[in-house]
Amino acid sequence: MTDDIHPLFHGAPSSTGFKKLRKRIIRQVREAVEQYGMVERGARWMVCLSGGKDSYTLLAALIELQWRGLLPVELLAVNLDQGQPGFPATVLPAFLERMGVAHRIEFQDTYSIVMDKVPDTRTYCSLCSRLRRGNLYRIAREEGCSAVVLGHHRDDALETFFMNLFHGGKLASMPPKLVNDEGDLYVLRPLAHVAEADCEKFAAAMNYPIIPCDLCGSQDGLQRQQIKRMLDEWEARSPGRRNVIFKALTNGNPSHLLDPKMFDFASLQRNSVKPAKKAKNP
């Protein structure tokens, strides 16, 4: 296999560090796809492309797996232009055309709705994401796609877990695979095992045309940013802390929590638990 297997990888750095990074991302995406049973052979996936580092990394990883015959699905890249002032509307269409990636660009002015409905003292994220999600589901149905594929990575899952823990009073995160409320679409997150720092390094090394989200970025004090800073501080004091927390999310033990809906404590009997075997003397 050569490095330039697809136009998305033209000009890829030849350094050993980048090759290791690319290999790690591809391996982690493949692991998530297989571990969570994401693939329906012959399905069509709608890959949501915002123009951020994460969605570029997602698209590149999926196309490489598809190119290598390891992802037997059809991919359609979709960008939802939400009408934000100054949004460079020509960047993504030109990029996708140049890369030879099948795509659809949809314009829906949800920005005006959000600015009209949300007071200045509140964050825009909740309403913005609901409007975006509704449009993406509609586009997926129109395009005959069975899955909406999002670029949320490992750190998004960790931040969501702590937001639910601190502000929502529940143990929940971003699942790598779920079915929407209507029951007709999968929502997939193949970057579930990939670190945000790796996405940033990869997209920067490939020099993809990054488009920032100025709507959310213009607001200070967002809860997610506070959680991110907390995790950064933990990671600085104890390197590898994020990996340990992520491992915990994949290693749940319902009988050692306090939720009777997850574990039937009332029916637990003394003789239902087998005593631990004693280690034999050498």
Residue 107 neighbours by CB distance under 10 Å? 11
Percentage of the chain surpassing pLDDT 90? Answer: 69
| Each residue's pLDDT tens digit, 194-224 | 999 999 999 999 999 998 765 554 444 478 8
Whether the predicted pLDDT of 190 surpasses 80:
yes
The pLDDT score that the predictor gives to residue 228 is: 93
Which of 3, 1, 66 is CA-nearest to residue 29? Answer: 66
Give the pLDDT mean for 175-183: 95
Residue ranges of the alpha helices (H) in 36-90?
Answer: 53-67
Tell me which residue range forms the domain holding 105: 7-217
Residue with tokens 């590898």: 240
Residues 23-45 have pLDDT tens digits of 999 999 999 999 999 999 889 99
Domain CATH for 65:
3.40.50.620
In a domain, 246, yes or no: no
Least confident segment among 1-5, 141-145, 181-185: 1-5
- Per the listing, tokens 């104890």 go with 238
Q: What pLDDT is stored for residue 213 in this prediction?
A: 67
Q: What is the mean pLDDT of the chain?
A: 88
Q: Is 144 within 8 Å of 117 (Cβ atoms)?
A: no
Confirm whether 259 is domain-assigned.
no
- On the question of pLDDT at 164 being above 90, the answer is yes
Number of domains in the chain: 1
For residue 54, tell me if it sits in a domain: yes
270: Cα separation from own chain's centroid:
43
Residue 81, domain member (yes or no)? yes
Q: What is the pTM of this model?
A: 0.87
Residue 223 lies in a domain: no
Give the tens place of pLDDT for each residue, 218-263. 444 478 889 999 999 999 999 999 999 999 999 999 999 999 999 9
- Mean pLDDT calculated for residue range 67-76: 94
DSSP for 159-221, written as a single string: HHHHHIIIIISS-----SEEE-TTSS-EEE-TTTTS-HHHHHHHHHHHT------HHHHT-S-
Mean pLDDT over residues 11-19, rounded?
93
pLDDT of residue 214: 58
Is 32 inside any structural domain?
yes
Q: Which among 245, 266, 244 is positioned nearest to 255, based on CA atoms?
A: 266
Query: Model confidence over 97-139: pLDDT tens digits?
Result: 999 999 999 988 777 777 766 776 666 677 777 888 889 999 9
DSSP label at residue 239:
T
